[in-house]
């Protein structure tokens, strides 16, 4: 699937490195774009492309937090609740997010639209509370702006 659908991207990734193994992480990102998470199938495909054993790829998936081993929602919202953000109200903000979404951090809304994570530092401590929505930064959030954002996503 991956090799069929993303052949050009795969070639581009492989061309970046002197070894195929180095392509594992970028290829997992491609796979995650394609499948929504690092599915067993995706892991085996990436292993085959990189001439690795699937166990080696699984290990990489398991080590890094941004590779998902379970299916996630259409949108992933990561809110930092590390110390600097917490000094700017991130703990209360995360509690609000959970209430708004009706799920706990680490869960996905029943409609499959949003997965919510509380995460460690995302290097934007000066503008907390901060969220990354599908990788894009959203700064200086308030309960109101968060609710608005979520309503948009759930439309």
Partner 1 sequence: MTGMEKHLLLRDLDVPNIRELDVYMANDGYAAWKKAVTSMKGEEVLAAVKDSGLRGRGGAGFPAGLKWSFIPKDVFPKYVVVNGDESEPGTFKDHQLVRNNPHQVIEGTALCAYAIGSNLAYIYLRGEFSEPGKELEKALADAYANGLLGSNLMGTGYSLDIRVHYGAGAYICGEESALLESLEGRIGQPRLKPPFPATNGLYNKPTVINNVETLANVPWIILNGAAWYRQFGTEKSSGVKLFSVSGHVKNPGNYELPLGKHSIQELLDMAGGSSSGRPIKAVLPAGSSSPIIPAANFGAKLDYESMAGIGSVLGSCSFIFMDDSVDMVWAARKMIRFFKHESCGKCTPCREGTYWALKIYDKILSGEGTLADVDMIAEVNKQIIGKCFCPVGEFATSSMTFTLKHFKQDYIDFIEKKKGGTPEYRAELARDTHGHHAQAAH
Partner 2 sequence: MADLINLTIDGFPVGVPKGTLIVDAAKRIGNDIPVFCYHPKLKPVGMCRMCLVEIGTPKVDPATKQIVKDDKGNVVIAWQPKLNTGCTTPVSEGMAVRTKTQVVTDAREDMLEFLLTSHPLDCPVCDKGGECPLQNLTLAHGPGVSRFDYADKQHNDKHVPLGELIFLDRERCIQCSRCVRFQDEIADDHVLQFHDRGRGMEIVTFSDPGFDSYFGGNTTDICPVGALTTADFRFKARPWELKSTQSVCGHSAVGCNTSLNTRLNTSTGTAEIKRVMPRQNEQVNEIWLCDKGRFVHHYTRAAERITRPLIRKDGKLQEATWESALQLISDKLNTVPGLRVAGVIGDRVANEDAWLIKRFLTEVVKSPYVAASPALPSAYADIARANGLGIDADFKQLGKGDVIVIVNGDLEEQAPVWFLRLRQAVVDRGAKLIVAHHRSTKMHRYAQVIARYQPGLAAQWVASKPAELQGLKDARNVVIVFGDDTLGPPNARALADGLAAVLHEAGQFGKSNSGLLPLYPHGNTQGVCDVIGAGAHAPTADVAWLVGVGDAADAPKAGFTIVSELLMTDLAKSADVVLPALSAAERDGTLTSGDRRVQRFYRALPPLGEARPDWWAAQEIAKRMGAAWAYSDAAAVFADLAAHVGSYAGLTYAGLAKVEAQWPPVGRDDLYYGGTVYDNSGGVGARTSQGNGPSDSPAPAEPTMEALTRPQPALYRSGELIRLSDVIGRRLV
Could you list the residues that contact partner 2 (CB under 8 A)? Answer: 40, 43-44, 52-59, 62-63
Q: From residue 88, how far is each of 18, 60, 78, 85, 139 by CA, in Å?
A: 44, 33, 16, 5, 12
Residue 96 contacts residue 61 (beta carbons within 8 Å): no
**Interface pick for partner 1 out of 3, 41, 53, 65 (rule CB under 8 A):** 65
14 near partner 1, judged by CB under 8 A: no
**In this chain, which of 69, 102, 142, 154 binds partner 1, going by CB under 8 A?**
69
- Please, which residues have CB within 8 angstroms of residue 35's CB and are 6 or more apart in sequence? 41, 42
Query: Binding residues for partner 1, per CB under 8 A?
Result: 16, 18-19, 21-26, 28-29, 50, 52, 59-60, 62-67, 69-70, 78, 81-84, 86-88, 91-92, 94-95, 98, 104-106, 117-128, 132, 135-137
């Amino acid at each position: 699937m991956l090799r069929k659908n993303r052949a050009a991207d795969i070639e581009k990734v492989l061309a970046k490195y002197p070894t195929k193994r180095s392509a594992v992480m970028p290829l997992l990102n491609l796979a995650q774009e394609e499948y929504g998470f690092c599915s067993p199938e995706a892991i085996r495909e990436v292993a085959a492309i990189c001439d690795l054993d699937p166990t080696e790829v699984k290990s990489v998936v398991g080590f890094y937090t941004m590779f998902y081993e379970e299916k996630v929602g259409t949108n992933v919202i990561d809110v930092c609740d590390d110390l600097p953000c917490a000094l700017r109200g991130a703990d209360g903000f995360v509690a609000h997010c959970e209430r708004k979404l009706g799920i706990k951090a680490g869960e996905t809304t029943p409609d499959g639209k949003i997965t919510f994570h509380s995460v460690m530092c995302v290097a934007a401590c000066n503008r907390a509370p901060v969220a990354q929505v599908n990788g894009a930064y959203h700064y200086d959030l308030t309960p109101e702006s968060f609710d608005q954002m979520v309503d948009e996503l759930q439309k």
